[in-house]
Amino acid sequence: MPQPAWQKSSYCAQGDSCVHVAYDADRVLLTESADPREAILTAAPAAFAALLTHVKQKAPQRD
């Protein structure tokens, strides 16, 4: 299996606390900066999209 092409979150500031995302047709992978070699969460694309929708709906509104 080829290595995932990890992308750092655009919300990541300077420092070590970053989320990295990789994907292919069958799965979305998430990991953290502390160990970007291995996924800590694997989800189907539809499940990951539902998670993002839920998080965005619950996020505090910015002015």
- In terms of pTM, does the model score above 0.85? no
- Short-list 10, 11, 4, CA closest to 27: 4
> What is residue 49's predicted lDDT score, i.e. its pLDDT?
93
Q: Is residue 2 in a domain?
A: no
Q: Is residue 12 in a domain?
A: yes
Neighbours of 28 (CB within 10 A): 21
> What is residue 44's predicted lDDT score, i.e. its pLDDT?
95
What is the number of domains present in the chain? 1
> What is residue 20's predicted lDDT score, i.e. its pLDDT?
86
Q: Is residue 39 in a domain?
A: yes
Q: Is residue 36 in a domain?
A: yes
Q: How many CA atoms lie within 13 A of 19 on its CB side?
A: 9
The pLDDT-based confidence of 63 (bands split at 50, 70, 90) is low
Asked if 9 and 36 count as a contact pair (C-beta separation under 8 A), the reply is no
pLDDT tens digit sequence for 2-58:
777 888 877 777 666 788 888 888 999 988 876 666 778 899 999 999 998 998 888
Domain that holds residue 41: 7-58
> Hunting for tokens 């929708």 — which residue is that?
53
